[in-house]
């Protein structure tokens, strides 16, 4: 056989081998090869059993996602899985790496399964707004029960070989380095065993209590998503007494509903957008990168400590510098506490925590940064302070060291101008908490060297961040788009809306919290001028009364000791007072108007960012908002959402309220264009 699938005859065992790097995706050629391999084994009387295995680093790690939305070439995966299952000779799946999605479904079609201890098995389709559509929702409950089937399909997290063995999803554990020999030996052991164990012939026991508990436990996680509910419904169908064929028909119908829906399109868009964001326009992908073996961080506060943890966790030594011993000790203690908490929860091993702390060098000596390959400044947002720090770094750091600022909105070009090496300077805007949040805005200055930008973008992958290139403008991508939302939300308060109404609309849209809940969480006093006698806005009035948000148990809301919010009568008074002073009449504000004024304006700002070439592509903006601000992934980011809503509708909504509309947005609306694809 040719192509990605080959066969080898080991006496009476036919081994069918896939070699389709990098992850043995189940594209058309692989499916065709599997079908031909099974037919070959069935036609040869000398063959008593078959083994399906993969070369490379993993078993089949899923479908070929590039085929989604295109006409499917035969045979489809369900056909191949059914053919394997209905073979009258035993078929053994030999699993290493990950058997995910369609790969997991191939193993379920096999009569027997053997895996190395490090293997993982799962059905992550729900993360793309889908369900395992080749019988996964029907076979898992029949083999392993409803409870595990719910976990695997509706949550989409893979399970270990050990757990799979206990659940009956695999039959035997192989040696880590002897999978091929062990699989062939296993096939020989069961070659004569009859009847063949077929998942379709097993009965799944209904478990309504497990279903109810699962729905309750995951209600918050699943809020707004269509796919988890469809997965749950399919698993329930497998155990309601229906025949296997009836269950498969139900699964197929649910799969097609999801596949044709906006949510799956949005989630697939983000899947590709995240990968596209790593590509830098105008730079050779083969450019030589600068070696980064030691990192310096200036500032041991919340941001500096979190930034340091990213590098320590990746095995990169960090020198952290502070001005005062007390601040340095406090920051170091917080880092240790975070690592110990992760170890106590089993997320990392205690020795990993110790290794990370062992790679940390806390110091008050600025000169200790001299040998660092990358230095990240993470002090408070003050241009004069940042310029002073970068002038110092210019004098201390070795030639070729990359100098980065963790500024969230200041001019990176002005910061770079404080040095004699502006080509080595860029922005690295981490999001708080920096050791948890996945987004990294990499800000390209006018003079940032190509290899500097490419090095930091590659380094982002090492520290497990999703990086997006941004240009130099106030707030870059994320905070620049946040600004009109916050401004319009405040204006709506003056016109008659309440904080709770505006927040409710945003939460119903799918945001984790609304503008005022976010303000209370971050701190109402952030960026406040600190003069309690100077009250020029509602926020000034709140801050002057010590209503600084959750940390003082009062902000736009009142909070109990568990930080549960309730509407505040005092805030209502303050708003009313401002409205009276401004001679504004209170009026009814519709939920639709809130969406138009707070979210349509964000889309408009995103279009301006694209016009000004401050973002490389619309999908990068979507990635920023998904990973940095909690935009619901099932809406695909603000620019994808605008495409889904219809750009003409967005423009009409903006013009209705008198907003100046971006020329790019206007032209796309007029031509029937889209921001994405």
- Block residue for tokens 């927040």: 503
Q: Three-state SS across 207-248? A: CHHHHHHHHHHCHHHHCCCCHHHHHHHHHHHHCCCCCHHHHH
- Block residue for tokens 């204006």: 491
* Per-residue exposure over 29-48, b if at least 16 CB sit within 10 Å of its own CB, e if not: bbbbbbbebbebbbeeeebb
Angle at 514 between CA 509 and CA 515, to 5 degrees: 130
- Block residue for tokens 């025949």: 243
Residues with Cβ within 8 Å of 528's Cβ and at least 6 positions away in sequence, in order, are 539, 540, 543
Q: Contact at 8 Å (CB) between 21 and 56?
A: yes
611 a catalytic residue: no
Q: What whole-number distance in Å separates Cα of residue 317 and Cα of residue 359?
A: 5
Q: Token pair of 546, please? A: 């010590």
Q: Which of 8, 67, 85, 125 is catalytic?
A: 125
Q: Which of 8, 40, 105, 236 is catalytic?
A: 105
Angle at 18 between CA 14 and CA 22, to 5 degrees: 160
125 a catalytic residue: yes
Of 366, 568, 399, 602, the C-alpha closest to 484 is 602
The CA dihedral of 469, 471, 472, 477, to the nearest 10 degrees, is: -70
Mapping DSSP to helix (H, G, I), strand (E, B) and coil, where does residue 56 land? coil
Query: Edge to edge, what strands does the sheet with 159-160 contain?
Result: 98-100, 120-122, 159-160
Q: Token pair of 26, please? A: 């189940």
**Maximum CA pair distance of the chain?**
94
Catalytic residues: 105, 125
């Amino acid at each position: 056989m040719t192509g990605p699938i080959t066969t080898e005859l080991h006496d009476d065992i036919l081994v069918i081998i896939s070699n389709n790097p990098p992850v043995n995706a189940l594209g058309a050629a692989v499916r065709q090869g599997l079908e031909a391999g099974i037919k070959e084994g069935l036609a040869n009387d000398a063959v008593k059993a078959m083994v399906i295995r993969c070369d490379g680093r993993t078993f089949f790690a899923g479908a070929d996602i590039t085929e989604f939305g295109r006409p499917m070439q035969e045979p489809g995966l369900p056909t191949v899985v059914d053919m394997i299952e209905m073979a009258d000779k035993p078929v053994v799946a030999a699993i290493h790496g990950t058997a995910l999605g369609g790969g997991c479904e191939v193993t379920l079609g096999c009569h027997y399964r053997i895996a190395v201890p490090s293997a993982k098995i799962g059905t992550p389709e729900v993360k793309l707004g889908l369900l395992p559509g080749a019988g996964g929702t029907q076979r898992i409950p029949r083999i392993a029960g409803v409870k595990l089937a719910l976990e695997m399909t509706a949550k989409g997290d893979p399970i270990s070989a050990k757990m799979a063995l206990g659940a009956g999803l695999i039959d035997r554990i192989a040696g880590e380095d002897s999978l091929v020999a062990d699989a062939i030996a296993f096939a020989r052991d069961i070659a004569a065993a009859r009847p063949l164990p077929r998942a379709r012939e097993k009965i799944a026991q209904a478990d309504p209590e497990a279903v109810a508990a699962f729905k309750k436990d995951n209600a918050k996680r699943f809020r707004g998503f269509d796919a988890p509910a469809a997965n749950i419904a399919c698993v329930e169908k497998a155990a309601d007494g229906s025949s296997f064929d009836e269950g498969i028909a139900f699964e197929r119908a649910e799969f097609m509903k999801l596949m044709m829906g906006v949510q799956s399109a949005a989630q697939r868009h983000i899947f590709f957008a995240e990968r596209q964001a790593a590509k830098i326009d105008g730079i050779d992908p083969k450019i030589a990168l600068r070696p980064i073996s030691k990192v310096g961080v200036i500032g041991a506060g919340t941001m500096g400590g979190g930034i340091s943890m990213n590098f320590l966790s990746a095995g990169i030594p960090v020198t952290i510098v502070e001005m005062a011993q007390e601040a340095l000790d406090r920051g170091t203690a917080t880092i240790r506490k975070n690592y110990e908490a992760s170890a106590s929860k089993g997320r990392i091993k205690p020795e990993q925590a110790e290794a990370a702390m062992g790679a940390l060098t806390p110091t008050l000596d600025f000169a200790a940064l001299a040998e660092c390959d990358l230095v990240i400044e993470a002090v408070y947002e003050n241009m004069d302070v940042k310029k002073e720090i970068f002038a110092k770094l210019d004098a201390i750091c070795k030639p070729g060291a990359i100098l980065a600022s963790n500024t969230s909105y200041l001019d990176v070009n002005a910061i770079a101008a404080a040095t004699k090496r502006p080509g080595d300077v860029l922005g690295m805007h981490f999001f708080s908490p920096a050791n948890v949040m996945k987004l990294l805005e990499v800000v390209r200055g006018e003079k940032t060297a190509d290899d500097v930008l490419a090095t930091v973008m590659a380094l982002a992958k090492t520290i497990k961040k999703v990086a997006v290139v941004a240009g130099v403008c106030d707030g870059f991508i994320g905070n620049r788009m946040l600004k009109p939302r916050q401004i319009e939300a405040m204006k709506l308060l003056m016109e008659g809306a309440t904080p709770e109404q505006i927040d409710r609309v945003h939460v119903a849209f799918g945001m984790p919290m609304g503008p005022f809940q976010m303000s209370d969480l971050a701190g109402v006093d952030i960026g406040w001028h600190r003069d309690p006698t100077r009250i020029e806005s509602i926020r000034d009035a709140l801050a002057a009364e010590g209503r600084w948000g959750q940390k003082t148990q009062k902000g736009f809301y009142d909070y109990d000791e568990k930080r549960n919010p309730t509407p505040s009568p005092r805030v209502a008074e303050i708003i009313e007072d401002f409205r009276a002073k401004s001679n504004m009449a209170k009026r009814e504000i519709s939920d639709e108007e809130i969406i138009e004024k707070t979210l349509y304006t964000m889309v408009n700002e995103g279009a301006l960012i694209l016009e000004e070439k401050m973002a490389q592509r619309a999908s990068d903006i979507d990635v920023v908002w998904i990973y940095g601000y909690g935009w619901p992934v099932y809406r695909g980011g603000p620019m994808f959402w605008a495409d889904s809503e219809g750009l003409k509708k967005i423009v009409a909504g903006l013009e209705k309220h008198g907003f100046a509309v971006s020329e790019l947005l206007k032209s796309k609306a007029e031509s029937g264009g889209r921001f994405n694809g």
